[in-house]
Amino acid sequence: MSKMKIKSALISVFHKDGIETIAPKLHNLGIEIISTGGTQKFIESLGIPVTPVEKLTDYPSILDGRVKTLHPMVFGGILARREDVHLEQLVHYGIPEIDLVIVDLYPFEKTVASTNNEADIIEKIDIGGISLIRAAAKNYKDVVIVPSMNEYGHLIQLLDQQNGETNLEDRKLLARRAFAVSSNYDVAIHNYFNNDLEELSFKKSYDQGQVLRYGENPHQKATFYGNLEGMFEQLHGKALSYNNLVDVDAGVSFMREFKDDDPTFIVIKHTNACGIASRNNIYDAWKAALACDDISAFGGILVSNTAIDLETAKDINKRFYEILIAPDFEPDALEELKTKKTRRLLKINDFAVQPKSYRSLLNGVIEQDADLVIEGRDAFNQATKKTPSPQNLNDLEYANKCVKHVKSNTIVLVKDRQMVGMGCGQTSRVDACRQAIEKAQQFGFDLQGAVMASDAFFPFPDCVELAHKAGITAIVQPGGSKNDPLSIDYCNDNDLAMVITGVRHFRH
C-alpha cells in the first residue's frame, strides 16, 4: 500500500528528550503507544496511557534489561507484510500490527569516549534497538521507522501536517536513514574491537553523516562522516562542499610538515600545491606563495601556519579564493575578510592528520598507513662528490617536504624556501621535470642555484640532465633504481650535488 495511517507505535529510546512532544501528538491522534522500561515510565509520567511490551510478550524484561523486545510478538508485528497471508498469521497468533517504531540507540561512541571500562562499553552495545531499526526499515513498505533523535522533526511534521498518515516516499526515506544509522553504529563497534578509537583514520561521528549539496560533480550524491567541529571553527562563509573538503584535507596534510616552521603559506588547487613559501612574516610568505603561480591560485584553498594580520587580509581579499585556513585571525583582519560573503574562513585547532587512510576501490575498501614519514637532512645520504651548500641543503629539505604532497609523477623545484616550479600527475617523470622547469620560466623565476626533488627514483639520467641545463645545482631523490649510477655519474661529471633518502613518496 502507498498511503498508510499509523495506528500503533513502539517507542524504545535511551534519551527521552523529545518524547514529551511526540507522545502527546500520538495519543491525540488515537495511536496506541507500546513501550518498555524507562521509556514506558517516562511516557506514563506525562499522563499518557502506554501498553507495556511485557503485556504483549507475556515475559518480563530479563537479564538486566538485555532482553525486552526480542520476541515474536514484537517483531512479528513489525515484520509482517500487510498482505492476507501474513495478516492471517498475525490474527492466528494474536500478534498486533506495529506501524511506527521510534528508537534512540544506546550511546556506544560517547561511552567509548568517556570511559576505558570495558564492561560499561560492552553494555552500551545496543541489541534490541538495532534489531528494531533493521526490522522496521526492512518492512518500510508498511512500517515507519524513526531511527534516532535526529529524525524527530521529520516525524512531528508527518503527525502535524499529515495527521499520522504516511506515503511510501516518506517511509523509504526514513528507512534509508535508518540503515545509515545501523551501519554507522556497527562500524563504531567494529572499530572499537579492531583498534582504539584514538587510532582510527576516520570516525563516523553522526548517525547519518553530513549530507553535502553534491559530490565531486553535481550529478553525484555525497555524505561526510566525521567531526569537522573537532578540527575547525568555521568563522564565516557557506558550508563546505565535497571538493572543498578534499582540498582542505590536502592543505592540512601539507601544512603539517611546516606547522612549526617560520611563517608559511600554501595555495592548494585540486589537491596540489600551486604555491608554497616560507618567510619571516606571513605577508611576505603569502606574496611569495602567490608568485609561484598566480594564475592557478584563482579559486584556490589558502592555508597559513600563522595568524592572519590585517595587511595580509587586505591583500588576500584582492583575490578570488574559496577557503582560508589559519590557526588564528587578528580581529581587524577577520572583519576585513568577512566582507567577502561567500568565502569560508576556518580557524584550525591543529594541523593533525589521521594515522590511517582509506580508499574505496573494486568491490571493497583498501586501508593503509598514512604517509607520515618525512626525511630531514639527517637522513640524506650524499651520493655525489659535490656536497650541497648550506643554502642548497635548506632548500633540499624544503623541497623534499613539498614533493611528498604533490601528485605522482612529480618534480618540485625550490629556491630560497619557495616552490618556484612544479610538475604533477604526469605519466612520465621526464614530462614532470619539463613541466616544472617550464612553470618556473613562465612565472619569471631564475633557476640558477635552485634545487630539485623527485617523489621516486630516476630510471634514466634524463631528468638530471634537464635540471642541470636549467640551472639546478642540487637534487634530492629516493634512489633505488638499477640505473642510479647513471644519474650519479652525470652529477659528478657536471658538478651537481645529489642526496638520496631511501624513501619513496608516491601519491596517487
- List, in sequence order, every residue forming a beta bridge with 154; answer none if it has no partner: none
Contact predicate 355/370, CB 8 Å: yes
Show the cell assigned to 202.
576516520
Of the candidates 7, 25, 124, 138, the residue annotated as catalytic is: 138
270 catalytic, yes or no? yes
| Residue that the C-alpha cell 553525484 belongs to | 220
Report DSSP state, residue 96. Answer: P
Question: How many Cβ atoms from other residues are within 10 Å of residue 199's Cβ?
Answer: 11
> How would you classify residue 232: left for phi > 0, otherwise alpha for psi between -120 and 50, otherwise beta?
beta
Question: How many Cβ atoms from other residues are within 10 Å of residue 277's Cβ?
Answer: 26
Question: How many Cβ atoms from other residues are within 10 Å of residue 361's Cβ?
Answer: 7
Quote the CA–CA distance of 304 and 414 in Å, as a whole number. 19
Quote the CA–CA distance of 318 and 298 in Å, as a whole number. 11
348 in helix, strand or coil?
strand
Contact predicate 425/407, CB 8 Å: yes
Quote the CA–CA distance of 178 and 158 in Å, as a whole number. 17
Of the candidates 270, 338, 340, 356, the residue annotated as catalytic is: 270
138 catalytic, yes or no? yes
Report DSSP state, residue 50. Answer: -
Show the cell assigned to 267.
595555495
Contact predicate 149/104, CB 8 Å: yes
Quote the CA–CA distance of 43 and 291 in Å, as a whole number. 66
Catalytic residues: 138, 270
